[in-house]
Amino acid sequence: MDFLGTGFGKELDYKALSLIWQRYMLDLLGKRDQAVFRYRQAKEMNIDKWWMHAQYGMEYRLSSYAGERLKTPFTRKENSNLD
């Protein structure tokens, strides 16, 4: 089944969000070419919705953020909380 087909994520903002999170994993796995292809898909959706993941300290506009990730890969940041 096509991930972006009739199953999960019928709304475009959730499709863009799922593309972005899939690409994070591809970047972290060193599969940059695959990540760029899918970041481009999310960018071309032109979704201006603001999204936040407070638990990770992340907030962004969906398609413009995907465009930024075309230039620089997603990288892991170590937790700076000493607890």
pLDDT tens digits, 31-70? 999 999 988 988 998 888 888 888 878 888 888 888 888 8
Main-chain dihedrals φ then ψ at residue 40, nearest 5 degrees: -60, -40
Over residues 2-25, the pLDDT tens digits come to: 444 445 445 888 888 888 889 889
Output the CA angle 14-46-63, nearest 5 degrees.
65
pLDDT recorded at residue 81: 62
pLDDT recorded at residue 19: 85
Distance, in Å, from the CA atom of 47 to the CA atom of 13, rounded to the nearest integer, reads 7
- Tokens for 64? 């413009």
| pLDDT mean over 23-32 | 92
